[in-house]
Amino acid sequence: MREEFDALQHNRTWHLVPRPPQANVISGKWVFRHKTNPDGSLERYKARWVVRGFRQRAGVDFTDTFTPVVKPGTIRTVLQLAVSRAWPVHHLDVSNAFLHGHLMERVFCEQPTGFVDAEHPDHVCLLSRSLYGLKQAPRAWYHRM
């Protein structure tokens, strides 16, 4: 949890502000996973702060959510073409990918459980970057890339 929270802080994902009146403040939760090695052994424990995007209001907390996707058949075709022509193929993995997308809307969420600022316990997070669970997170990531 500390590693995830530090990544959120490092990326300047939000800044704390007093709770605005009538603002839709989205709650969040910690999601835990076991990351495994290719042989199935435990690599590490992973925690992610995820907001409950189903509580967002269309037209208020988000507008567009569409982001282009690649069909599996297209990927297979490109890989087959690369193999047949001996082209090099590279793979890219981006750590905390959605945290790199910038938000255009004003979205508020609660402070992460266990990491509430002692000086401002009643403040909320005004998001400047997308978080997992937001309706517009995939689109923000796509626009950033």
Cα 7 from Cα 124, distance rounded (Å): 18
- Both tokens assigned to 132: 């997992």
- Both tokens assigned to 91: 């793979």
Read off the pLDDT of residues 5-45 as tens digits, 9 standing for 90 and up: 998 998 899 999 999 998 889 999 999 999 899 998 998 89
What is residue 58's predicted lDDT score, i.e. its pLDDT?
74
Instruction: Indicate yes or no: pTM above 0.75.
Output: no
SS3 1: coil
Cα 51 from Cα 21, distance rounded (Å): 20
Residue 75 has pLDDT above 70, yes or no: yes
Read off the pLDDT of residues 96-136 as tens digits, 9 standing for 90 and up: 777 777 788 888 999 999 999 999 999 999 998 888 888 78
Length of the chain: 145
Read off the pLDDT of residues 37-74 as tens digits, 9 standing for 90 and up: 999 899 889 999 999 887 777 766 677 666 677 899 99
Cα 50 from Cα 56, distance rounded (Å): 13
Cα 34 from Cα 41, distance rounded (Å): 10
Cα 51 from Cα 32, distance rounded (Å): 14
For 56-102, give the secondary structure using H, E and C: CCECCCECCCCCCCCCHHHHHHHHHHHHHCCCCCCCCCCCCHHHHCE
